[in-house]
C-alpha cells in the first residue's frame, strides 16, 4: 500500500490552516442610532464598497404605492430586543413614530445606507 502525500488513510485531504482574509475579519459592531444623518463606506470583497448608516434622521415610507420621506421623531418598540428601543437604536422590525404615523422598518440599516419602512394601520 502506497501513501499519497497530503492525504488521509481514508482518502480525504488534509486542509492547511490559514489566517483570515481582510474581508473575513469582523469589524466593529454597527448600530444605527436616531440623530443627524451619518454614513460610512467600507471596502468589501472584490474592491466593491458598502455604504452603511451610523445615525438616521429620515425614513422612506411606502404609503398607497407612493414613497414619502418622513422624519423619525421617536423609537417606540423593537420586537427583537426591548432594550434597543430605550437606546433609540434602529434595526429591522423596529416601530418608529413619524409625522405620518407609526412606521415599521423593513430593511437592515446596518447593511444599507438608508432606512425604508411601511406605514402601519391605526386601530
- Position 30 scores a pLDDT of 85
65-89 per-position pLDDT tens digit: 899 999 999 999 999 998 999 999 9
Helices and strands in the chain: count of H runs, count of E runs = 1, 9
End-to-end CA distance of the chain: 77
Q: What is the pTM of this model?
A: 0.76
Q: Which residue has the higher pLDDT, 1 or 70?
A: 70
Pick the residue with more confidence: 61 or 22?
61
User: Mean pLDDT throughout 10-30?
Assistant: 85
Bridge partners (DSSP) of residue 16 are none
Cβ–Cβ under 8 Å, residues 70 and 14: no
Q: What is the pLDDT of residue 61?
A: 94
pLDDT at 116: 95
Q: Which helix (H) or strand (E) holds 69?
A: strand 66-77
CATH assignment of 26-119, among 1.10.150.120, 4.10.80.400, 3.10.290.70, 2.150.10.10 = 3.10.290.70
Domain assignments of the chain as residue spans, ordered by start: 26-119
Amino acid at each position: 500500500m502506497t501513501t499519497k502525500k497530503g492525504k488521509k488513510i481514508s482518502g480525504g485531504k488534509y486542509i492547511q490552516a490559514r489566517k483570515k482574509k481582510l474581508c473575513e475579519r469582523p469589524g466593529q459592531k454597527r448600530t444605527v442610532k436616531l440623530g443627524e444623518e451619518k454614513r460610512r463606506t467600507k471596502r468589501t470583497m472584490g474592491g466593491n464598497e458598502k455604504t452603511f448608516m451610523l445615525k438616521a434622521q429620515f425614513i422612506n415610507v411606502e404609503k398607497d404605492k407612493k414613497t414619502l420621506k418622513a422624519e423619525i421623531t421617536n423609537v417606540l418598540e423593537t420586537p427583537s430586543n426591548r432594550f434597543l428601543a430605550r437606546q433609540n437604536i434602529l434595526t429591522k422590525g423596529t416601530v418608529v413614530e413619524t409625522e405620518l404615523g407609526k412606521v415599521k422598518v423593513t430593511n437592515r440599516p446596518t447593511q444599507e445606507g438608508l432606512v425604508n419602512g411601511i406605514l402601519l394601520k391605526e386601530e
